[in-house]
Structure 1
Amino acid sequence: MTYKRAIIISAEFTSFVGHGALDTACLPPEPIVIGFGDMGEPAVTILATEQISDGASGHILLFAISRPSCLRMFRLLPSVKASWYLAADLRELGRALVAIEGESEVAAMLRTARSMELLCRLFVALEQHRMVEYHGSTMLSVVDAQRVAAAHQLVSESWQKPLTVADVARRSGLGKAKLTQGFREMYKCTVAEAVSERRLGNARSLLTLSDLPVSSIGYRCGYQSNASFTRAFGRRFGMTPTELRRREKSFGG
């Protein structure tokens, strides 16, 4: 049987490169296994335990890191079976890792260094919420899927500002129809719903964790009037912002 090249970086981290099966004897204890596809696909996936043996062959690059090491170094554990679009800079680093040839000491050092850099940069992106989640299959081309993912990232970063579908489409290089189609296929929502969910989720956190006036919270979260904020909040959570704050304080007290 042909196995992927195993780069054992430490007792807690191994990267696997190439085609073939994954040698489970090289896995660290309690592994989280991250698959990068063929480095031409836009998504990176956390493999479930039962997928590690059978699912590894579809990935030309995999990282296996122990759960205790993840918590110690990065203070987070990525969700099993979660998928994200891999940013272009990270994808290029992965391709550079896969492209290393030879058995020399220098080649081994490069594989180790690039594995460590990609792992660290991936977890920094996850921690900073810069990784855009992938929610299923799509009929979009890879380029259009990447643009839709970039549009979703724009919504995630700029939700406090006035955003229209036309603005998001223009800034992501898509037509309005393609953007709308992409959001429905990939995120199961419209652009407006994605913006609203970010605004209202942040508003709920501020209502619970701060003493800011309700009207100030609505304005901070992108609403131009207290009335529009209250209506949107009520539709989403079934109560007004004031009622939610009163309930949360009564539970906390």
Structure 2
Amino acid sequence: MMKTRIDVSPEMIAFIGDGMVPCEDWPDTSVGFSYLFSPAICAFHTDTDACDDLTAADIVFVVKREACTRTFGMLPDAPATWHMPNEMRSIALAVRDCRLAGLAAATLRVAKSIELLCVTFEQLGDGSMIPADGTGVLTASEARRIAAARDLIDKRWNEKLTLETISRACGINRAQLTRGFRSMFAMSVADAIADRRLGGARQMLLATDLPVSAIGYKCGYLNNASFTRAFSRRFGQAPTQLRNTRLAA
């Protein structure tokens, strides 16, 4: 059994319904977007040669890579999966469950497929897409709170952050935060904080003349030794070596 094929344009094909995705006459250097209703997720695929990965989806778009960058000015950097927002789900349902017949159905599906792709890129561009965890265990609401926790870390990394303060600020309990964060981002909350702080420290070492010890303290390290050890593990050189490299340049 094969999905229904809709030729949207010379640069885009839509596949709808159950069954396999026929891998024939695709645009060169294609990427894929898939939409699944249960659970409500959408995904970006860089390897559209792996047709089996697209079989479970309700809707699949195969789009020429250059057409995406030309039209929308961007593409995701790597394969990714997100919770499908309600607006996108409504459009996707209109594509799948079209009640018209014949040419009218094909025309509507072409229009709605273009709209769905445009809204997908709009959501990606404004950062409102919530990443789905790899197991599908997290609900959209839980994923949204955990994404908010990551955003809090990225913005307030130089403050004193704990599991308790982050979970309270994001409306999720510590156990859910711990499990969900690792599931979504493949790292612990503590690792994310440390990574962001060390990145901030590196920027300060390159852009300011603050003493190394002062930078370490600003980034949450209580003594220079612990800061130096953590920085060396992360970047392969001590803070003073990086500072000296900048001065030598």
TM range (shorter): 0.7 to 0.9
Aligned pairs (5 A) from 1:80-159: 82-89=79-86, 91-92=88-89, 93-103=91-101, 107-127=105-125, 130-131=128-129, 133-134=131-132, 136-137=134-135, 140=137, 142-143=138-139, 146-148=141-143, 150-156=145-151, 159=154
Q: Does 1:223 align with 2:216?
A: no
Q: Does 1:193 align with 2:160?
A: no
Distance 2:202 2:53 in 1: 39
Distance 2:243 2:38 in 1: 46
Of stretches 183-192 and 228-237 in structure 1, the one that deviates more from structure 2 is 228-237
Change (3 A) 1:131 1:248: farther
The equivalent of 1:4 in structure 2 is 4
Task: Tell me the SS of whatever aligns to 2:100.
Answer: coil
- Return the offset for 1:119: 1.9
Give unpaired runs (5+ residues) of structure 1. Answer: none
The equivalent of 2:32 in structure 1 is 33
> 1:84 is matched by which residue type in structure 2?
T
Task: Tell me the SS of whatever aligns to 1:65.
Answer: strand
Among 234, 237, 240, the residue aligned to 1:239: 237
Distance 1:91 1:38 in 2: 11
Q: Tell me the matched-pair count.
A: 240
CA contact (8 A) 1:85 1:146 kept: no
Distance 1:241 1:110 in 2: 60
Task: Tell me the SS of whatever aligns to 1:16.
Answer: strand
Task: Tell me the SS of whatever aligns to 2:13.
Answer: strand
Change (3 A) 1:79 1:203: same
RMSD over aligned Cα atoms: 3.8
Change (3 A) 1:184 1:20: same
CA contact (8 A) 2:82 2:130 kept: yes
CA contact (8 A) 1:11 1:28 kept: yes
Distance 1:83 1:19 in 2: 22
- Return the offset for 1:36: 2.1
Which structure would you say has the larger Rg?
2
Distance 1:213 1:226 in 2: 20
Structure 1 vs Structure 2: percent identity of aligned residues? 27
Distance 1:119 1:13 in 2: 10
CA contact (8 A) 2:205 2:243 kept: yes
Q: Does 1:23 align with 2:22?
A: yes
Distance 2:235 2:47 in 1: 33
| 1:68-94 deviations in Å (ceiling 9; x for gaps) | 2123233444355x2222342454243
When normalised by structure 1's length, the TM-score is: 0.72
> 1:164 is matched by which residue type in structure 2?
T
Change (3 A) 1:200 1:149: farther
